Amino acid sequence: MGRWIAVLGVFLVMISISSAAHFIVGRVNDALDGTSANGRTIVLWNPANGMSDNLTDTVGPSGNSGVSNTYMIDCELLQTPCKVGDGLRVKIFDSGDGYVTDLGKVNVTGAGFDIVPNLTLNSPPNVSLLEPAAWANISSQVQFNCSVSDLDGNLANVTLYGNWSGGWHANETKQVSGSSDYATFTKDLPEGYYKWTCKVFDNLSISKIASNRSFAVDKTSPQISSVQINESYVCGQKYVRVNCTATDSMLGIESVTIRAFSPTGSSDHAASLLSGNTYFSDILIDKKGKWNFTCIANDSAKNSANKSTGNMFGYSQTADLVVSSDYIFFSNENPIEKEAIKINATVFNMGCSDSVVFLVGFFEGDPSLGAQIGDNQSISILARSNKSVNVSWNAKIGPTDIFVFADVGQIVSEDNESDNKASRQINVNAWQEFYGRLSSNKILSNNESSKFDIWLNETITTGNIFASDIESDISWGFLQAIGKNVSGGEANSDFSEIDQILGMADFNDSVSNTFTSDGNTPLDTENFTVNGQKIAGVPIINSTNNSNFITGILWDSSDDSDGEFGTTDNEDLVFVTKINPNSPGKYGAYDYEIRIPAKLRSQNQSDSSNVYFYYELN
């Protein structure tokens, strides 16, 4: 720059000596990408007279200035010579390589020369195509992504070009800015083969277009016409061949996979071309039980199709007994306590040899510790066959794991005896529901007949129904909400202690699980009036399927020695519901509905068969 100023000083001295010229002088900096401004043609004109009246100079040593990056033009040589006050323009125009300058402006003065503010040779913008990749195959919407840059930081816009709507043309333009940016275009195109590119412009209208890329849109999945296995069953370990015939109308098949589903899981096997459109994979059958296969065909656009075979079976060479929980059935899945139901089990011979006669047993719990149900049953099973056996069982409250054990005497020689035993759980509801209507026609007096209370079939509107163990001796004035101590404060573990007392701790529908959210916190509470006294915060549940009838739990604190309900004192439990005359419940319209644990009858073990019901009319 210092040298350019010194040289410019010489010019100015020379210009000042000459009175027959008025020079316009300026500097053009090289482009930021390193391209030199020297040798480029710069044009001067007066916009008032039009571009046709112009003068040019070559920037640099070969031009009028003789100095690198400098131009010098005598504006008095214009067809309409310049005069003081004229506004002139200078610019390097694109000669075909995309390099230009911005517009330089200068006003003519009386000094004999004028200096134009420095210009810089513009670097053309660049554009790169990111996606889709060349020769991409696409099965969905197409995302076009272009990356653009400009060293001068004057990006303007990017235009997407393509041939998918009536020939090759611009499809969409988006604004960009700065020195680097991205432009993304989304198009939903029909199936076909296409070309695309992006063209970027800077704010000097200089552009750059990338080389075209080709891609295909294929939205149609391959077609699988058949999947076949060359065996219907296998004895011992053996390879089977799975053939899959598949075609694709547009891009062709890229890959075929055979997915094998064995008794223990699944595995994928690459298929090879056999001939024509048929692919194959040889798969080792190394586990006994049910097998099936799925052919998965993909084209290069990732469209996929699948088709499955029927089942085939792997068998042992010798007899092999199998019991599965999937083949243990109950004649009634929801029995009530003591209901006699049938338990049916199917025993399979997964071997290619007939079995000898063996015993099948049913058990409550694991056969090593559990109680047997009925007698062992003698059966034999032909090769690759099965046989069903059953036993009668009286349902017990709570969950019971029913085990079936094939070959109790262990007389069948098998490769694998670990699958001779299986179980299935049955859960018998631990709760019983009671409902009905109330009518009253009572006359009560003391032993001297001096006091009478009379109900003569009056309409009953309010009151309570209670249930407790038959041995309970209820002190009605001492009833307290379960979950609260005698002072009305919170008491921990009441619900779990009820479960311990009633033998329901392991039940899915234990008192804790039924009445609380976490073993201590009631799901809901309600106030009751009993014997003329308000009992607040009684834990409740809906008696059945709506809120017209509720069931709560009380305890008799007259039996207590430590201030709260517990297993030590085993205070009398009382289940309670409010009378709600002629209201709809689960079984119709009636006056009361209450749900109690069946084992309430055994809170006191002296009599574990009965409970008492009481009613109170207000």
Kindly compute the dihedral angle of the four CA atoms of residues 575, 576, 577, 579, in this order, to the nearest 10 degrees.
140
Specify the amino acid at residue 24: I
The pLDDT score that the predictor gives to residue 589 is 95
Taking the C-alpha atoms of residue 549 and residue 551, their distance in angstroms, rounded to an integer, is 7
Burial class (CB in 10 A: 0-12, 13-18, 19+), 39: exposed
- In contact, 423 and 404? CB cutoff 8 Å: yes
The pLDDT score that the predictor gives to residue 452 is 43
Cα atoms found within 13 Å of the Cα of residue 310, Cβ hemisphere only: 5
The pLDDT score that the predictor gives to residue 167 is 87
- In contact, 597 and 541? CB cutoff 8 Å: no
User: Domains of the chain by range and CATH?
Assistant: 2-120 (2.60.40.1120), 126-217 (2.60.40.650), 223-315 (2.60.40.1930), 321-429 (2.60.40.10), 434-617 (no CATH)
- CA 202, 206, 211, 215 torsion-angle sign: positive
Q: What secondary structure does DSSP assign to 249-261, as a single string?
A: SSS-EEEEEEEEE
- Beta strand residue intervals within 46-85, DSSP E: 54-58, 70-74
* Residue 243 DSSP code: E
The pLDDT score that the predictor gives to residue 433 is 94
Residues of the chain with pLDDT under 50: 1-3, 5-7, 9-11, 13-19, 443-456
The pLDDT score that the predictor gives to residue 460 is 59
N-term to C-term CA, the chain: 111
Number of C-beta neighbours around residue 51 at 10 A: 10
Length of the chain counted residue by residue: 618
Specify the amino acid at residue 474: I
pLDDT tens per residue across span 9-49: 444 544 444 446 999 999 999 999 999 999 999 999 999 99
Taking the C-alpha atoms of residue 38 and residue 67, their distance in angstroms, rounded to an integer, is 9
pLDDT tens per residue across span 78-108: 999 999 999 999 999 999 999 999 999 999 9
Residue that the structure tokens 């323009």 belong to: 89
Q: What is the pTM of this model?
A: 0.60
